[in-house]
Structure 1
Amino acid sequence: MLRNIFLKTIRDYRLQILILGGWVALLMLFIVQAYTSLFSGPDRIKLMADYKKGIQGLSFFIGKGYDTDTLGGFITIEVMGIVPVVLAIFALMVGSAIIRGEEEKGSLDLLLSMPHSRTSVLLQKWAGMVIVLCSIGLISWLGLIGGAISSNLTLDAELAAVAHLNMVLLALIFGSLALLFGQLVESRKTAAGWTGGILAATFLMNSLADTINSLQWLGYFTPFHYYSLSKPLVPSIGTDWGAMAIQAAILIPLVLAAVVLYVRRDHSGAFNLSKNGKAVLTKGYYEVTEPNSLWLANNFGFGLKTALPGLLIWGLGISAYILIIMSSFNNLRDSMIPLLGSDLYKQLGFQALATNENILSALLLLFMMLLCAAYAVVQVASWTVEENEGRLELILSTPESRWRLLTIRFSVTMLSSALMIGITAVTYALSSGLFDVAVDTGKSVEAFFGLWIVCVIVEAIGFGLAAFGPGWAVAICSGLVVLSYIVQVLASALNLPEWMINLSVFHQYGTPLVNGLAWTPQFIMLTLSAILVIVAGFRFWQRDIAK
């Protein structure tokens, strides 16, 4: 697979294809099993009615549900709203890496020294990204069809394939957008950050457009709107080929613009309309100012400075979500009270208590603990990319021990997680008072402290995996987080054994707003985190870098 750039790009992501595709396929299999377990028995009709009410009450967060009594409708509402976002995040990471990322590593210098035009290089790498995403979609499709067959359920394989194609088109838009931004900025992280911000903003815009009639016009400016118009697995909606064609058409200007900018800019530079920038050459030599910032005094300060933009974006983004919940809490409370008493919600582990704490646990913390775990995975990715892109070699060429470096970086991840959660906690406290939502202060503090522990254990697992394989650590860690979340949410529905449920990080977090934080599991997770970091330190100390 090294005959050309196209095949080499696919080869570079073969491990990510298998891991991410495998985890998504496993998720599809779990959801099919959940459908069978939830809607079986003599109370099937009542459970389906309760589920439909629940979907209507949470339509702002998970979208509108159609034909939820069918397997296709159930899969669409449960999976086809979340998996495309995950795939889009992966796509923007790939899109920002295939050109800008390789420039940062220096590998593109060698490639361009060979008889390959810049246009050919970019287009072959983009085509490779297309095949990578399609391969993940294919594995996911196989998992969905396999789950339906194993459960003796009927599901149209062709319609399932169209649904996955729709999902891949959405991911390609954000991957291509990241590729375009990579030509405008000088950092892969900046390109990925801008694209991620647009992804989050357009997702929220589409949610608002679907919920508030006066804002429906916003939807036309978001890729998610055209994605959501097609629901191939839902009998009453079907496929909107025009909307899918619009998604495909959006790709054309993005890729063309990326090509035009790439062939016109300097290598390792950013596209600039003006050629008259500041002069950097003085008296025949480059003038370099010695850095005197406190952020650059040591690795801890530099690591924290690097983490600050990310933790602010995540903290403020989750804070915006908290403000939305708190500002509309009274309306949501009225719709949630009857739902929490339904048989379906009891199966999913919610208590039939009409307290503010119980409702916030269902509406807020259930989502926040997953977001905090996702932030922890991003922190792990920041550590692994340092080694994968060769930057650790320069750091370790100085008199800096490996033990000290790993300990400093893990300390930075813990502190950044604490700061991010602190921002959300302050927002929670202020908004609960501003919108007159009475909550237990002590249990609220415990709930946010527990979120930090969730971050720490996920980061420790990620650092432990990275010590053995930095290339696949993030994919494995992400899969474990998704699986742990599924085990927690669908434990009752799937009749999972107790030992498996206890392995879930989210199960050990519990419902601290209602019952308080169970301190014994928290101390155990902190102890395990310390052990994992020690193991990671020994392994990192012994092995070769990037091996």
Structure 2
Amino acid sequence: MLRYGLRLHRWGMLGFGLVAFLSTTAQGAAYLKLAGSTPAERALFVKTMTALALQLSYFLPLPRHLDSLAGYVLWRAWGTLPLVIIFWAIAAGSGAARGDEEKLLVESWLASRLSRARLVAWRFAAFGAAALVMAALAGGGTLVGAAGVETIPIERLAGQVLTLWLLTLACFGLVYLVSQFPGSKRGAQVLGTVLLLGLYLFQVAARTQPSLENPAWISPFHWYDAGDVLAPGGTLNLTGIALGAVTLVASAVLAWLAFERRDLRGPLFRLRARASRARQGGTSPLLGWPVARELYRQRWIVLAWAAGIAGMAFLMVGIAHGTVNALLALPGLRGFLGPTGTDPYRGYIALIWFGIAQALLAGFAVHVVAGWAGDDSQGVLSAELSRPRRRWAIVAERAISAVVAIVLLAILGSICTLIAAQQIGVTLDSAGVFRATAMLVPFALTFAAAGAMASSWWPRAAIGVLGLLVFASYMDSALGPVLGWPAWLVNLSVFLLYGSPLLTGIYWNGLWAMLAVVVVGFGAATLLMERRELRSALVTRSIRRPVPSPATHSKTASKHATRITMAATRSSKSLGSRPVLAAKMPVRKSRLRSISPQARALRSGTSSKRRILASSRSRSWSMAPESWSIARNTDSLSVSPGGPDVISEARIGS
């Protein structure tokens, strides 16, 4: 089971591990380029970065020992990893607690006589092994980046890896615990996001507010920031290590107790249902349009990203004065704000804020692609195609809805930017802001097209592949020019194809390249969607249970609740992409009186005719001692014993 649990986390382990490895390697390699080699240059670098860190405290911890490569990597690379961990912990924790239940995996494991305590224990152990691989890759990237520049002792690096590993496990445990309260994976993701982001923002406030230093110890991110064992002269924060271990054990025990109390696919606490009067809901003619329906499904996602983009626009433009002054104090970064003679505040907004806007819209594209991949695995796509609908129309609807949502978010961000710039006394060119906003649309659609192609080809890997593509493109644009990478390699970055339209106008070659990727990506997604078979609504491991005798069935039926096992297998296009169900049902004695004689003969095993066809309007069910399968075609319902392997089991009555 441990190996299978590790297999469930393999994409997160490899994806986030690669992100950690590349981040630590790149920051270590860029240190000499930024800090210089003479003591005077190092002193100026430390002074400037310390002042800049106060402006970036929402994103990075306060730096220590910036005069060494290890201290800089600890601040610049290891300091950003908690943000990466938040995303992984939310996805893995909610998926382990609720996602596996929605896929009927938990029923399979419990039906195979696996206790709930052991199930919780091996899920924590499996994620712990995956998190250890990710933390080890971060340590390996640190050694690679420091090779030939500075020697980092292994014991200090091991202490930093241990700190990161415990932080990852603590975040996973907290999300796994709060996921026991709601009754769905989406609710678990919302609660996990609120909890981890709340703890992180509390630690962000404590970085610049000394009065919050002591209360901030409730946040695991504070325990992580308090340790600086990687830097020269740093120490291992034993208090944080102990608190992380206690949080891990406590969250696992409490999650087990909550799991024992609640029902599968049900909330921990059920509210008393109130009688309500049925009423006709309001209708809108817009919901008759396919694109409007897709946007209505994504309304909360769009609203959440809109709030985030608006908030970041006001924040980043609001701190422009302090950040620009810190950058101008460092000679090596004066040209970063634009060519000579350019207004530095305008250059800051063009390069810093619109760069962050690019990252936010790329994240929105990943979120949208995650929904497309989820439609495939949850059976939503199969239901849409059974209406029936053309497959190319599904891809076209996704593309148009993505265009509309991205346009709305880009316009909102630019409006907030203009308002915030006026508040700090910076005048922006309206035409330049329009150009920068317009270029954000093909930029985000480039990642959406790549994600559409990946979700049409391999939905389970689409999110990981697209996330790695976004991260690699960002690192290419951020570190390629600093490290002197070849021009052809740097120009592969989509972030560089965007250019800086607020300062230098539209980069036409980049625009044509992005439009070409959009057309090819959605075109390839259409072809792949037409050619491949859809995944079923539920995909689980096969577990064949021993088949008891008819006598055993009669005894068991008089004592126990009816058990139904259902599993969805791969559906083919010839069946209209409808799922195929397999079930096994021990039946009460009293129920045998109401079934047909044909079915009673089939139950006793005396009938030679082992197949019953019923019309879709009047369905008759055969109670056979073996597993029986239901294959629903367009015009008939086929019931036959000896169906596919029983996959999962759930108690639905008493």
Relative to the length of structure 2, the TM-score reads: 0.75
Correspondence 1:16 to 2:7 = no
Q: State the distance in 2 between where 1:362 and 1:69 align.
A: 27
- Of 402-411 and 253-262, more deviation after overlay is shown by 253-262
1:458 corresponds to which of 425, 447, 452: 447
1:366 corresponds to which of 355, 359, 377: 355
- Counterpart of 2:433? 444
Q: State the distance in 1 between where 2:464 and 2:237 align.
A: 33
Q: State the distance in 2 between where 1:498 and 1:163 align.
A: 35
- Counterpart of 1:70? 68
The offset of 1:90, in angstroms, is 1.2
- Counterpart of 1:511? 500
Q: Deviations over 1:172-210 (max 9, x none)?
A: 233223222322222212322332233334333322321
2:133 corresponds to which of 112, 132, 135: 135
- SS at 2:180's partner residue? helix
The offset of 1:494, in angstroms, is 1.0
Does structure 1 conserve the Cα–Cα contact (< 8 Å) formed by 2:117 and 2:256?
Answer: yes
1:254 corresponds to which of 226, 251, 254: 251
2:31 corresponds to which of 22, 28, 35: 35
- Counterpart of 1:156? 153
- Counterpart of 2:394? 405
1:54 corresponds to which of 35, 49, 65: 49
Does structure 2 conserve the Cα–Cα contact (< 8 Å) formed by 1:349 and 1:489?
Answer: no
- Of 293-302 and 92-101, more deviation after overlay is shown by 293-302
- SS at 2:227's partner residue? coil
- Counterpart of 1:89? 87
Q: Which has the higher contact order (CA 8 A, sep 6+)?
A: 1
Q: State the distance in 2 between where 1:451 and 1:58 align.
A: 28
The offset of 1:101, in angstroms, is 0.7
- Counterpart of 1:493? 482
Does structure 1 conserve the Cα–Cα contact (< 8 Å) formed by 2:392 and 2:530?
Answer: yes
2:241 corresponds to which of 237, 241, 244: 244
Q: State the distance in 2 between where 1:260 and 1:295 align.
A: 47
Q: Which amino acid aligns with 1:409?
A: R
The offset of 1:381, in angstroms, is 1.6
2:407 corresponds to which of 418, 422, 426: 418
The offset of 1:447, in angstroms, is 1.9
Q: Which has the higher helix share?
A: 1
Q: State the distance in 2 between where 1:273 and 1:457 align.
A: 44
Correspondence 1:192 to 2:189 = yes
- Counterpart of 1:429? 418
Q: State the distance in 1 between where 2:513 and 2:75 align.
A: 36
Q: Which amino acid aligns with 2:315?
A: I
- Counterpart of 1:335? 326
The offset of 1:124, in angstroms, is 1.8
Q: Which amino acid aligns with 2:81?
A: V
Q: Give me the CA root mean square deviation.
A: 2.8
1:202 corresponds to which of 193, 199, 203: 199
Q: Which amino acid aligns with 1:422?
A: I
Q: How many residues align?
A: 532
Q: State the distance in 2 between where 1:44 and 1:344 align.
A: 18
- SS at 2:294's partner residue? helix
Q: State the distance in 2 between where 1:171 and 1:422 align.
A: 36
Q: State the distance in 1 between where 2:405 and 2:155 align.
A: 45
Does structure 2 conserve the Cα–Cα contact (< 8 Å) formed by 1:170 and 1:223?
Answer: yes
- Of 401-410 and 431-440, more deviation after overlay is shown by 431-440
Identity within the alignment, %:
22
Residues 390 and 155 (structure 1), Cα distance of their counterparts in 2 relative to 1, 3 Å cut: farther
- Counterpart of 1:474? 463
Does structure 2 conserve the Cα–Cα contact (< 8 Å) formed by 1:88 and 1:172?
Answer: no
Q: Deviations over 1:245-272 (max 9, x none)?
A: 2122223333333222222222211122
The offset of 1:489, in angstroms, is 1.4
The offset of 1:122, in angstroms, is 2.4
Q: Deviations over 1:406-447 (max 9, x none)?
A: 221232223222223333222222222334332222212222
- Of 376-385 and 25-34, more deviation after overlay is shown by 25-34
- Counterpart of 2:309? 318
Q: Deviations over 1:442-500 (max 9, x none)?
A: 21222232233321111111222223322222212211211211121122221111111
What stretches of structure 1 of length at least 5 have no aligned partner?
none
Q: State the distance in 1 between where 2:212 and 2:435 align.
A: 38
Q: Which amino acid aligns with 1:178?
A: V
- SS at 1:500's partner residue? helix
1:121 corresponds to which of 119, 122, 128: 119
Q: Deviations over 1:346-399 (max 9, x none)?
A: 4x6855645321122354223332222122212222211222344323332330
The offset of 1:148, in angstroms, is 3.2
Residues 417 and 389 (structure 1), Cα distance of their counterparts in 2 relative to 1, 3 Å cut: same
- SS at 2:400's partner residue? helix
- Counterpart of 2:22? 26
- Counterpart of 1:171? 168
Greater C-alpha radius of gyration: 2
- SS at 2:117's partner residue? helix
- Counterpart of 2:267? 270
- Of 32-41 and 173-182, more deviation after overlay is shown by 32-41
- SS at 1:17's partner residue? helix
Residues 161 and 544 (structure 1), Cα distance of their counterparts in 2 relative to 1, 3 Å cut: farther
1:528 corresponds to which of 495, 517, 522: 517
Residues 256 and 322 (structure 1), Cα distance of their counterparts in 2 relative to 1, 3 Å cut: same
Q: State the distance in 1 between where 2:130 and 2:280 align.
A: 43
Q: Which amino acid aligns with 1:486?
A: M
